[in-house]
Amino acid sequence: MKLHEYQAKSLFADAGIPVPDSRLATSVDEALDAVDEIGYPAAIKAQVHVGGRGKAGGIKIATDREEAEQYAEEILGMDLKGYTVDQVLVESGVDFVDELYVGVTMDRGEGKPVLMVSTEGGVDIEEVAEENPDAIAREHVDPAFGLHPYQARKVVYEAGVDADVALDVASILSTLYDLYEENDASEIEVNPVMITSDRDVVAADAVMNIDEDALFRQPDLAEMAEESYEDDLERKAGEYGFDYVRLSGNVGIIGNGAGLVMTTLDLVDYYGGAPANFLDIGGGAKAERVTQALDMVFSDENVDAVVFNIFGGITRGDEVAKGINEALEQFDEIPKKVVVRLAGTNAEEGMEILNTDLVEVEETLEDAVQRAVANADEVTQ
Amino acid sequence: MSIFVDDDTRVVVQGITGGEGKFHAGQMIEYGTNVVAGAVPGKGGQEVDGVPVYDTVDEAVEAEDADASVIFVPPAFAADAVFEALDTDLDLAVAITEGIPTQDMAKVNKRLSETDTRLIGPNCPGIITPGEAKLGILPGNIFSEGNVGLVSRSGTLTYQVVDNLTERGLGQSTAIGIGGDPIIGTSFVDALEAFEADTETDAVVMCGEIGGEDEEQAAKFIGEHMDTPVAGFIAGRTAPPGKRMGHAGAIVSGSGTGTAQSKIDALNDAGVPVGDTPEEVADHVEDFL
């Protein structure tokens, strides 16, 4: 789960990390009130979960009120890579002479958190990692002990940070690690950390992702997650508790188990279709979950046809069939053609129950996907 | 032969009095697994389906001579349960639980490196040696005895591929779901190494998915150390970067590492054919045997 920049920065500020003065605004008037308080130059930054906001036109620096108004008008309501901007962070401009990259993330291969520091801040760190990997200093942290303060200093010196600010940067890094642990973050990135002409150190950007599996013990962050949905369907999926990802195609996909659902997406693509979503109903789903899943996919206006693929382990075919019947029998006319494939536990019982006046049935995964792709093509032709 | 579990494995079920634990302990027993004990704090002295329950894993092992554990404990308490299994020096612990916080698993992983216990999972369907023992939630009826080893990050995808194999008369030696989390106990390489050493495994299927670099490392291992032929499958070709596809570990990073293509390329370079569909995977295995 991604936090917005303004959410992450409020956590930073509470922990004592220096951040620029800022206000959140949802209208041009609010944005102008904010710049009136903060002064110029002021950065106007779109609060959406997309990388490369600056390049895409989602961050502008205003030097006077006229510019501030113009940029706020431009950015509020703009479409940034498919997301509509409905709030901006208005932030005091920082007069900087140097930019650093600082981050904490989980190294999956090592199974340990890793600190990262680079003096090549302010640019795409992935490019730096690829072209000049030595420019990023790394230090692994033993998760049983936590961070030793010397490790933060070591990695900062190793990266070649200027001596007069090195301890300040190390202190920020230490605090970031505390935040990483306390908040069950999966990643925290500050790019850039700015060094001002007065040699102050300021966190000018903030990326913070939270481990969704830890939200049960992070009630405040779970609340922030609510504020973070940017899409009605994602919000709905969150309410239902589904693993859901929206994609750009027109074949709706419902299945059980992440690997099998991904495979179904891949097969839709392989057979010439375009997947509209990833929707995993999880293990052991009862009829009610199935109707909720169909409701989700039907309410996505991009979807032209649906494939429902279940291989039952702990999920039972008869429960799934019951749910499909219940969901479809409420319609006078089925809104989108649904192809069903049931295999595994109680698949035969499920096939007997399934109302085949309402759905199409296929025996294999491959056949089910091809039929759904053909159904979608029929609609678009 | 087989790997990791067989009909001598003596199993303690942690969380046997919960809904999932009770149901699947019953299923395991029905399959023929030696479920010798349950362990649930506060429930010592009870019985579930004739299986004696103890308050601690230590007591269960002491009393019933168990050497493996299966963990059905809710996410908030699961890391503690894994620590308990590791600290009891079992040969094998299988963690079925989905949703254990990654930072908890980092601590488990550290402890794991100091013990001789093998951990499978978490967030996995478990392990089965057809006809002998099943530790986990895999539906026993789709498996058949044979000489194909299978290792996979996903549960239901495993069932799909096993179904394709069984339908063609291609039985399995052992099938392991290693789990879909970012930090897991048994890697592809661990499983492949064991299959390579198993005289009754003549071919291996490896089902990977996007995220991390486990499949790339497996490809390297296959190229350098394996004579047993391996067929591959990689899920998530159409996954967009930055989105978690169900499994906590199934995510292509913004920089484009962990993509399906990089894994497919690595496997192909190691001489491993990768199926475009589950059926094609079964085709490759049929060609091997």
CATH number reported for the structural domain that contains residue B119 in this entry:
3.40.50.720
Q: Does domain A232-380 have CATH number 3.40.50.300?
A: no
Nearest by CB to A108, from B182, B235, B246: name it: B182
What pLDDT shows up at residue B36?
A: 98
What's the ipTM?
A: 0.93
Confidence of residue A330 (pLDDT cuts 50, 70, 90): confident
B95, B123, B151: which is the final residue of a domain? B123
What is the helix (H) or strand (E) element at residue A166, kind and residue range? helix A163-182
Amino acid at residue number A206: A
- Contacts with B182 from chain A: Cβ below 8 Å: 106, 108
Residue B107 in marked binding region: no
Report the residue of chain B nearest A217, measured CA to CA.
Answer: B76
Amino acid at residue number A298: F
Q: How far is B9 from chain A (nearest CA, A)?
A: 23
Q: Contact, B117 vs B89, CB < 8 A?
A: yes
Q: How far is A159 from chain B (nearest CA, A)?
A: 21
Q: How far is B222 from chain A (nearest CA, A)?
A: 18
CA distances for B278 relative to A266, B235, B246, angstroms: 11, 10, 20
The 10s digit of each residue's pLDDT in B197-231 is 999 999 999 999 999 999 999 999 999 999 999 99
The answer to whether position B5 is within a domain reads yes
The answer, yes or no, to whether residue A225 has pLDDT greater than 80, is no
Which of A46-60, A135-149, B82-96, B107-121 has the weakest average pLDDT?
Answer: A46-60
Catalytic residue among A5, A120, A139, A189: A189
Q: How far is A34 from chain B (nearest CA, A)?
A: 32
Give the mean model confidence (pLDDT) for residues A193-212: 95
DSSP H helices, chain B, are: 19-31, 57-64, 75-87, 102-112, 155-167, 188-197, 214-225, 260-269, 278-288
Does the distance separating the beta carbons of A266 and B125 come in below 8 Å?
no
Residue whose C-alpha is closest to residue A103's, from A91, A95, A115, A93: A115
User: What length does chain B have?
Assistant: 289
Mutate to test the interface with A, among B98, B156, B186 (most CBs of A within 10 A): B156
For chain A, give every domain's residue range.
Answer: 14-92, 96-222, 232-380
Q: Contact, A330 vs A363, CB < 8 A?
A: no
Q: Contact, A246 vs A300, CB < 8 A?
A: yes
| Relative orientation angle of helices A365-380 and A258-270, to the nearest 10 degrees | 50
| Boundaries of domain holding B103 | 1-123
Q: Contact, A352 vs A322, CB < 8 A?
A: no
Residue B114 in marked binding region: no
What pLDDT shows up at residue B256?
A: 66
What pLDDT shows up at residue B247?
A: 86
Q: Find the distance separating the first CA and the last CA of chain B, reported in whole Å.
A: 18
The answer to whether residue A344 neighbours chain B at the CB level (below 8 Å) is yes
Which of A314-323, B108-117, B126-135 has the weakest average pLDDT?
Answer: A314-323
The answer to whether residue A108 neighbours chain B at the CB level (below 8 Å) is yes
B66, B97, B123: which is the final residue of a domain? B123
Residues B154 and B103 in one domain: no
Residues B111 and B208 in one domain: no
The answer, yes or no, to whether residue A193 has pLDDT greater than 90, is yes
- Contacts with A261 from chain B: Cβ below 8 Å: 245-246
Query: Across A153-162, A314-323, A325-334, B249-258, which has the greatest mean pLDDT?
Result: A153-162
The answer to whether residue A82 neighbours chain B at the CB level (below 8 Å) is no
User: What length does chain A have?
Assistant: 381
Only one residue has tokens 């925290």, namely A188
Report the residue of chain B nearest A141, measured CA to CA.
Answer: B106
Residues B180 and B148 in one domain: yes
The 10 Å Cβ neighbour count of residue B118 is 18
Residues B116 and B146 in one domain: no
Q: How many domains does chain B have?
A: 2
- Contacts with A313 from chain B: Cβ below 8 Å: 125, 137-139, 155-156, 159
The 10s digit of each residue's pLDDT in B137-195 is 999 999 999 999 999 999 999 999 999 999 999 999 999 999 999 999 999 999 999 99
Provide the percentage of residues in chain A whose pLDDT is more than 90. 77
Three-state SS at A280: strand
B73, B90, B123: which is the final residue of a domain? B123
Cα B115 to the center of its chain, rounded Å = 19
Sequence-ordered strand ranges (E) for chain A: 22-25, 42-46, 59-62, 79-80, 83-84, 88-92, 96-107, 112-118, 136-140, 185-196, 201-203, 207-210, 243-246, 251-255, 277-280, 305-312, 337-344, 360-361
Mutate to test the interface with B, among A263, A264, A363, A366 (most CBs of B within 10 A): A263
Does the distance separating the beta carbons of A257 and B157 come in below 8 Å?
yes
The CATH fold of domain A14-92: Dna Ligase; domain 1 (3.30.1490)
Find out whether the peptide bond into A41 is cis, omega within 30 degrees of 0: yes
Three-state SS at B278: helix
The answer to whether residue A111 neighbours chain B at the CB level (below 8 Å) is yes
Does the distance separating the beta carbons of A259 and B152 come in below 8 Å?
yes
What is the CA angle B253-B259-B261, rounded to 5?
Answer: 160
Nearest by CB to A143, from B107, B253, B254: name it: B107
| CATH code of the domain in which B229 resides | 3.40.50.261
Residues B38 and B154 in one domain: no
Confidence of residue A230 (pLDDT cuts 50, 70, 90): low
- Contacts with B275 from chain A: Cβ below 8 Å: none
Does the distance separating the beta carbons of B247 and A343 come in below 8 Å?
no
Provide the percentage of residues in chain B whose pLDDT is more than 90. 91
Q: Taking a contact as any Cβ pair under 8 Å apart, which residues of chain B between 53 and 92 contact chain A?
A: 75-76
Give the mean model confidence (pLDDT) for residues A153-179: 97
Please classify residue B197 by burial: count the beta carbons closer than 10 Å to its beta carbon, then call 0-12 exposed, 13-18 middle and 19+ buried.
exposed
Considering the domain delimited by A96-222, tell me its CATH architecture.
2-Layer Sandwich (3.30)
Does the distance separating the beta carbons of B254 and A259 come in below 8 Å?
no
Residues B210 and B169 in one domain: yes
Amino acid at residue number B56: T
Does the distance separating the beta carbons of B182 and A106 come in below 8 Å?
yes
Residues B229 and B259 in one domain: yes
Mean pLDDT (chain A) is: 93
Which of the 8 DSSP states describes residue A2?
B
- Contacts with B162 from chain A: Cβ below 8 Å: none
Residues B113 and B146 in one domain: no
CA distances for A213 relative to A24, A74, A210, B99, B103, angstroms: 29, 37, 9, 5, 10
Residues B144 and B234 in one domain: yes
The answer to whether residue B136 neighbours chain A at the CB level (below 8 Å) is no
Q: How much of chain B is in helix, strand and coil states, percent to nearest 5?
A: 35, 20, 40
What pLDDT shows up at residue B26?
A: 95
The answer to whether residue A345 neighbours chain B at the CB level (below 8 Å) is yes
Residues B231 and B178 in one domain: yes
Does the distance separating the beta carbons of B279 and A262 come in below 8 Å?
no
List all residues 6 or more positions away from B48 whose beta carbon is below 8 Å from its beta carbon: B16, B17, B22, B25, B38
The answer to whether position B134 is within a domain reads no
Token pair for residue B7? 């009909």
The answer to whether position B131 is within a domain reads no
Catalytic residue among B24, B225, B247, B284: B247
Residues B166 and B103 in one domain: no
Catalytic residue among A6, A71, A101, A177: A101
Active-site residue A126, yes or no?
no
Mutate to test the interface with B, among A314, A345, A349 (most CBs of B within 10 A): A314
What is the CA angle A321-A325-A329, rounded to 5?
Answer: 175
Residue B99 in marked binding region: no
Question: What does the alpha-carbon distance between residue A229 and residue A3 come to, in Å, rounded to a whole number?
Answer: 10
Query: Across A220-224, B10-14, B238-242, which has the greatest mean pLDDT?
Result: B10-14
The answer, yes or no, to whether residue A51 has pLDDT greater than 80, is no
Confidence of residue A78 (pLDDT cuts 50, 70, 90): very high
Enter the pTM of the model.
Answer: 0.94
Report the greatest alpha carbon distance in chain B: 56
Sheet holding A22-25, edge to edge: A22-25, A88-92, A42-46, A59-62
Sheet holding A243-246, edge to edge: A243-246, A277-280, A251-255, A305-312, A337-344, A360-361
Question: What does the alpha-carbon distance between residue B258 and residue B264 come to, in Å, rounded to a whole number?
Answer: 11
The answer, yes or no, to whether residue B50 has pLDDT greater than 80, is yes
Residue B22 in marked binding region: no
Annotated binding site of A for substrate: 256, 313-315
Residues B27 and B162 in one domain: no
Does the distance separating the beta carbons of A257 and B246 come in below 8 Å?
yes
Nearest by CB to B245, from A186, A278, A364: name it: A278
Find out whether the peptide bond into B240 is cis, omega within 30 degrees of 0: no
The answer to whether position B158 is within a domain reads yes
The answer, yes or no, to whether residue A95 has pLDDT greater than 70, is yes
